[in-house]
A = this chain, B = another copy of it.
């Protein structure tokens, strides 16, 4: 980095800048206006706005130049991509920085997972800032790979790229004042402290805010978000793959309160990022829903940079990094070019950055111990049993009660009633824990689907018609060191290896999208009609979310937060 003195001399106009962007229409998120300006850049920074001499000039010919876009809350693991492949997906869409919560990595690998994320997100044309996961494990009712306490967070909070403490999902714990949760909030002092309080309203919401939580991204209804905003929570307007809240929340936002809003994706699939876009999509949606373009772009840039204290990001003015997007029309808002620290890193949808050195993968995480007999459910006579019923496109489930189909003294799947066997095998420390239950909604007529992405503990979860295919799926997942798989007649029909923590692929964006397409096609061929069968599968273990879930510890009555039995008494 060149000395400040050198840059000051450039700013004073005494020596030429490295680069001048001239004839641009500058989206000035600081003065809240769009004005003509030339932007002088040196050594990756903006040094001045004005008529500067430069060694190289880029004529924008009247195009718009705005700060690069920022995602305020994202789980990188949801894309199943490495940071570098994620960059390939989103940099062409104008993303310059992402605030990520490596919640899934932390559940599998603990602090080593966070360290891997810190390391693998370096030296890319995209800045990553990391929130420290605050809820690992999610509950004691599932066996995760790690447990993270406030003391653990305190070890890492001081790092420059740690932006704060991630979503306090145990929101009752917060508003009830549990010491474990208040301690985590205290670790975040002076940095950001993110919230997660779906549907929380009224007095308990007041207590949640009073405890020190400063944001929320879970509002799905206008009045819920309004209440949170009034109580001082920064509102992250979420527009991800499945959770799409912008249409509902847009009427809340105006120029008097936009400063307290950011965009976030939370979870977004690789294919959606590539096809639909990232924060650029949220900007388009916001404008389409009537927000002033300048407000939408402030929300997408400076507001998020300020809330998370991302220094020198989010605006175009002296001292800020030269992170720009170029586009031609405010209404359609198609990002044509992306610059990172003054370097063109994407143009017309093409990613131009050079590949960076690969980060060594973290240790393997597949430690299974099970026997085929563990999958059997003894049942001497047809009994009433509790079955998980899928609610399409939602992470909640319902509990239904129906009579088991019995063969040879065992409860088995019944394709005619769409009752399939669901198995969860602990994979972190070879405890031998195996949970077995039944699920309705997949409509498989044959075979099995398996995954090591299984929120939040990410054990092996398999749904299937027969034990033989379920076991092949488990074996294939072990062979892949984690992944997703579709099996039929003892054969693997499609698969995606996820050797990085059993969550993330080491392959290219294109290969990941292609293999996921194959997996979905294989699931459809087996009879599944769900829009996203593997995502549905991945949420069947999520023990904090009602109503009935299955973890490695068995069936969970998630409404009462306790274990329950398969068979009714």
Contact = CB atoms under 8 A, between A and B. Distances in A.
Contacts of A256: 32-33, 255, 292, 294-295, 298
Interface stretch (A225-233, A420-428, A523-531): A225-233
A325 interface: no
Given A49-B231, A260-B30, A175 B207 contact: no
Contact of A31 (B52, B182, B257): B257
Contacts of A8: 175-177, 207, 210-211
Contacts of A232: 30, 315, 317-320
Contacts of A260: 30-31
A30 B257 contact: yes
Interface string A241-273: 000000000000011110110000000000000
A206 interface: yes
Nearest to A226: B31
A35 B318 contact: no
A250 B294 CA distance: 20
Nearest to A26: B230
A303 to B, nearest CB: 9
Contacts of A50: 202-203, 206
A385 to B, nearest CB: 39
Contacts of A206: 11-12, 47-50, 318
B175 A211 contact: no
A49 B230 contact: yes
Interface residues of A, number: 54
B209 A318 contact: yes
A204 interface: yes
Interface string A199-228: 000111011011110000000000000100
A182 B4 contact: yes
A83 to B, nearest CB: 28
How many of these chains are in the complex? 2
A7 interface: yes
A12 B203 contact: yes
A13 interface: yes
Contacts of A182: 4
A5 interface: yes
Interface in A154-209: 175-177, 182, 202-204, 206-207, 209
Contacts of A7: 210
A28 interface: yes
Contacts of A295: 256
A352 to B, nearest CB: 28
B12 A175 contact: yes
Contacts of A317: 209, 230-232
A121 to B, nearest CB: 24
A33 B255 CA distance: 11
Contacts of A318: 206-207, 209-210, 231-232
Contacts of A210: 4, 7-8, 11, 45, 47-48, 318-319
A48 B319 contact: no
A195 to B, nearest CB: 12
Residue from the set A229, A232, A320 with the largest chain B CB neighbour count within 10 Å: A232
A226 B30 CA distance: 10
A366 B50 CA distance: 50
A144 to B, nearest CB: 28
Contacts of A37: 230
A34 to B, nearest CB: 10
A207 B317 CA distance: 11
Contacts of A9: 177
A242 to B, nearest CB: 28
A558 B541 CA distance: 77
Contacts of A175: 8, 11-12
Interface of A: 4-5, 7-9, 11-13, 28, 30-33, 35, 37, 45, 47-50, 52, 175-177, 182, 202-204, 206-207, 209-212, 226, 229-232, 254-257, 259-260, 292, 294-295, 298, 315, 317-320
Given A32-B257, A33-B257, 5 more contacts: A11-B206, A52-B203, A230-B317, A232-B317, A256-B294
- Which 5 residue pairs spanning A and B have beta carbons closest together? A32-B256, A232-B317, A48-B206, A32-B257, A11-B207
